């Protein structure tokens, strides 16, 4: 078998057309990786500058009441992920700037797509675009040509008559083309790793290894199917047309059909519907800015009873800070309820979409590619949860200072020293480990493995009789 593979490689590299196409493709791949890495480095520098600037503004706050500081708030920025240079996933459309303040959970803003010219949205050179769409097409034409050239020259018939096993011949040709695609894939990953060596760690190593695995499986599926169809018909044009049609169906039509169907099966509420529902639920809680509110009156009675006093002026703490925190905690429950339902629906959408991998391995490839490169919606939601958890700690720290810092109820002119603002911890984002999300992509890995196994079985057991005329 290895002799056939060596012969196949020698024939390929003797072709000036193949060498020219390969060189051009390699240059484009390297350029896409370089541009992706450069863009990530630029974003990383911008992120650090913005983060340091906002922290500097916060630490230099002076003469401000803690509740005023809660309304002043702060901004957190979604850090750049070096792995997104290989697959940026949802990163271009989800936004990267989030304002954290009291009483409200804001939406993340300023996505890259919203700031781009409409023309450039379709013209951006991406590694994922080349690896998912163009490289498989190249493998289709190489695999198709491998069998077709043998048929046209008569060598295929001669080899079979000389006793060359058809299964061995087919597998050798499949592996020779697949190894070529795998070599280009490894080149892309190695180039990216070298350009981002400063970010390399154990988690990145596991992620890139899984990235290589899923693309290797997909390239084998594409190559093996092309070889299989070429061996099953004497009309080479029909075989090529069928494979190109299957590629178009997999990459263009089926993903859009599946996504549209999943969104209808598990519908998300509109933004206005969700805001209205949250506003209605929020109105049922304590309003920290409405002293005549009946619910606040009940809360006041409970506090007076707790401290065994008759009036707010006798309290050893500042009631204003307590009621503000009570308002926050009720708002947090409302947020947990509605965004919890939203995350459950998103999870159902993702799980349902994954089953599309049964008939379309391209869906499984895209899911795992984004997931293992930390650029999917799971990682984005993990970032938002960390930011929201920090917001709660951030606002509670300010409300507790207001309540227990030494001021009296109604004293809105009281201001802590600047040292207090410096003591408030900054937001420290912890990247999501690959193992924490690995189980979410086992189904995709299973379907890719199933497809690779099925293609292997077809090549081994269904190519005994090859159409050689």
pLDDT at 436 over 90: yes
Checking if the pLDDT of 2 tops 80, the result is no
27 CB burial (10 A radius; 0-12, 13-18, 19+): exposed
Alpha-carbon distance of 285 to 13, in angstroms, equals: 73
196 versus 239: the higher-pLDDT residue is 196
Tokens of 16: 């000036």
Section 392-417 average pLDDT: 92
- Of 176, 178, 339, 192, the closest CA to residue 269 belongs to 339
Report the share of the chain in percent with pLDDT over 70.
Answer: 89
3-state secondary structure of 98: strand
Return the closest-CA partner of residue 423 out of 59, 77, 76. Answer: 59
Helix axes 16-59, 135-153, angle to 10 degrees: 170
Diameter over CA atoms, the chain:
106
How far is the CA of 282 from the CAs of 104, 220, 403, in angstroms? 10, 54, 22
Q: What percent of the chain has pLDDT over 90?
A: 56
List pLDDT tens digits, range 235-270: 777 888 889 999 999 999 999 999 999 999 999 888
Residue 1 pLDDT exceeds 70: no
Q: What's the pLDDT tens digit per position in 132-162?
A: 999 999 999 888 877 766 666 666 666 666 5
81 vs 112: CA distance, rounded Å:
14
How many Å apart are CA 42 and CA 209, to the nearest integer? 26
Cα(372)–Cα(208) distance, rounded to whole angstroms?
Answer: 7
pLDDT reported for residue 122: 44
Q: For residue 237, what pLDDT is reported? A: 79
- Interatomic CA distance for residues 397 and 395, integer angstroms: 5
Scanning 154-165, the segments in alpha helix (DSSP H) are 155-161
CA distance 275 to 280: 9
Question: Confidence class of residue 118 from pLDDT cuts 50, 70 and 90?
Answer: very low
The tens digit of pLDDT for each residue in 265-284 reads 999 888 888 888 888 888 88
pLDDT of residue 5: 74
* Average pLDDT value for the chain: 87
pLDDT value at 120 more than 50 = no
207-216, 272-281, 394-403: segment of lowest average pLDDT = 272-281
Query: Higher pLDDT residue, 143 or 372?
Result: 372
Least confident range from 106-115, 184-193, 214-223, 313-322: namely 106-115
């Amino acid at each position: 078998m290895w002799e056939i593979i060596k012969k196949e490689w020698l024939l390929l590299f003797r072709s000036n057309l193949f060498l020219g196409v390969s060189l051009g493709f390699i240059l484009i791949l390297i350029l896409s990786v370089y541009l992706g890495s450069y863009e990530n480095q630029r974003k990383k520098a911008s992120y650090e500058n913005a983060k340091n600037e906002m922290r500097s503004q916060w630490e230099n706050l002076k003469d401000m009441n803690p509740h005023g500081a809660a309304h002043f708030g702060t901004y957190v920025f979604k850090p750049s992920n070096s792995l997104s240079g290989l697959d940026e996933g949802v990163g271009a459309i989800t936004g990267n700037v989030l304002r954290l303040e009291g009483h409200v959970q804001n939406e993340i803003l300023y996505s890259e797509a919203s700031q781009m010219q409409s023309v450039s949205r379709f013209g951006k050179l991406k590694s994922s675009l080349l690896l998912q769409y163009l490289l498989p097409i190249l493998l289709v034409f190489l695999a198709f040509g491998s069998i077709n050239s043998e048929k046209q020259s008569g060598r295929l018939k001669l080899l079979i008559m000389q006793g060359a096993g058809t299964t061995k011949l087919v597998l050798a040709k499949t592996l020779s083309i697949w190894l070529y695609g795998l070599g280009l894939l490894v080149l892309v990953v190695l180039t990216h790793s070298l350009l981002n060596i400063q970010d390399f760690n154990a988690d990145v190593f596991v992620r890139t290894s899984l990235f290589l695995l899923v693309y290797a499986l997909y390239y084998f599926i594409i190559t093996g199917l092309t070889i299989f169809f070429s061996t099953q018909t004497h009309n080479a044009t029909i075989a090529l047309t069928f494979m190109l049609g299957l590629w178009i169906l997999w990459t263009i039509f089926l993903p859009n059909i599946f996504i549209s169907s999943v969104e209808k099966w598990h519908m998300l509420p509109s933004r206005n519907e969700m805001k209205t529902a949250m506003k209605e639920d929020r109105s049922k809680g304590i309003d920290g800015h409405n002293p005549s509110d009946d619910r606040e009156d009940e809360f006041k009675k409970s506090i007076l009873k707790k401290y065994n006093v008759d009036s707010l002026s006798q309290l050893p703490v500042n009631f204003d800070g307590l009621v503000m925190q009570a308002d926050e905690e009720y708002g947090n429950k409302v947020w947990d309820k509605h965004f919890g339902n939203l995350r459950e629906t998103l999870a159902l959408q993702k799980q349902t979409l994954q089953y599309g991998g049964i008939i379309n391995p391209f869906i499984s490839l895209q899911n795992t590619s984004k997931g293992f490169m930390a650029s999917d919606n799971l990682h984005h939601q993990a970032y938002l949860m960390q930011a929201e958890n920090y917001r709660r700690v951030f606002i509670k720290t300010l409300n507790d200072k207001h309540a227990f810092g030494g001021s009296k109820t109604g004293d809105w002119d009281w201001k802590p020293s600047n040292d207090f603002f410096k003591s408030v911890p900054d937001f420290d984002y912890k990247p999501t480990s690959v193992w924490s999300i690995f189980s979410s992509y086992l189904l995709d890995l299973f379907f890719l493995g199933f497809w690779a196994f099925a293609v292997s079985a077809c090549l081994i057991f269904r190519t005994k009789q090859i159409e050689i005329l």
